Amino acid sequence: MDKLLILTGSDGSSAQLAGLELLLHSFSEVGLNNNKYQFVLLCPSWTDRKAFLNFSKKYGCVSESVSLVKTNDKYYVKFVIQRYLLSNSFNDVSGILYLDFDHICLRSINLPELHEDIVFVSSEVTPLVEMLGSANIPRILWGLNGKHYNNSIIWAVPETFKKVAKRWSAAYRRLSSAIPLRYLEEVAFSLAAFEAGCTLVPVSPTVQGNWHIGVLDCSMFHYGGEHPLAEATKSSLNGDLIPKKIEHILSPWPRNLQELSKKIVTLARDLCSK
């Protein structure tokens, strides 16, 4: 049976490792630890693998160290995905789901049906002009129709994902003088998809919720980003986590975003204190 590959990565910092364990634990609680799903934890070659190997044993995932240069762009670590995709074959894989570490899985995932040359990305799409702080969008980006696609989640068939990955680095270099580092790898991914002849499609907010959209009835919630509630939530993620039942913390179900933030923070702090 073809399986689903779930990729995630981290730079090995304590905050990211805490978020990564929270992600893995939340997925295990909704029953995704089975033969159909395979989690792969990716880390750059310059970071300590000890925590990743411990997660592999604890959650039954695979840990891979990927050769990657260290740059002054902290988001460049995401290129571990590209290196991994281009150095492996995926004959027995029907779909590849990438997730930033700052997600929490709330219920079983109902992902959209995959098609060749379709790349599903985050439910969060904003105008490019907001990201650039200027109406002068580089001509090279005109094909994106003025949209900035967040790629905290990426869902595609392997060959389509690899097609985009092959063009990602070149797009990054071409945009390096025009796009702020905060958004460079994301915009480069969108440009790579456009130049590969692929269509970017945001997932439904019921698949991935986030602070900006404000949907709580979702499979996964992305608690990262630049929203004030994202900062409040992620500031608590430090140290090693010892999982506790997520249902206990999230019950009763949050009534609003502020309540969800407090509950995730409570979970993180409780786990970190053990």
CATH number, domain at 35? 3.90.550.10
Q: 239 near 268, Cβ under 8 Å?
A: no
Angle between helices 257-272 and 14-29 (to 10 degrees): 110
Q: 59 lies in a domain?
A: yes
Q: 273 lies in a domain?
A: no
Phi-psi region of 67 (alpha: psi -120 to 50; beta: other; left: phi over 0): beta
pTM tops 0.85, yes or no? yes
**Domain that includes residue 78, residue range:** 3-227
**Residue-level pLDDT at 200:** 97
Q: 250 lies in a domain?
A: no
Q: 268 lies in a domain?
A: no
| Closest alpha carbon to 112 in 159, 160, 154, 158 | 154
**Residue-level pLDDT at 272:** 42
Strands 208-210 and 220-222: parallel
Q: 258 lies in a domain?
A: no
- Structural domain count, the chain: 1
Which residues, other chains included, contact 18 with Cβ-Cβ below 8 Å and sequence gap of 6+? Answer: 237, 238, 239, 240, 241, 268, 271, 272
Task: Report CA-CA distances (Å) from 82 to 11, 42, 97, 167, 221.
Answer: 15, 11, 13, 9, 24
For residues 143 and 126, what is the distance between their CA atoms, to the nearest angstrom? 15
**Residue-level pLDDT at 218:** 85
The label of the residue with tokens 């389509």 reads 160
Q: Within 13 A of 190's CA, how many CA atoms are on the CB side?
A: 27
Q: 120 lies in a domain?
A: yes
Q: 233 lies in a domain?
A: no
For residues 136 and 237, what is the distance between their CA atoms, to the nearest angstrom? 37
**Residue-level pLDDT at 113:** 95
Q: 234 lies in a domain?
A: no
Q: Within 13 A of 235's CA, how many CA atoms are on the CB side?
A: 9
End-to-end CA distance of the chain: 40
Q: Give the mean pLDDT per block of 10 residues along the chain (274 residues).
A: 86 84 82 74 94 90 94 95 96 95 86 96 90 78 91 97 98 93 95 97 93 79 77 55 42 55 59 45
For residues 255 and 214, what is the distance between their CA atoms, to the nearest angstrom? 11
For residues 33 and 4, what is the distance between their CA atoms, to the nearest angstrom? 11
Task: Report CA-CA distances (Å) from 137 to 127, 128, 145, 150.
Answer: 11, 7, 10, 17
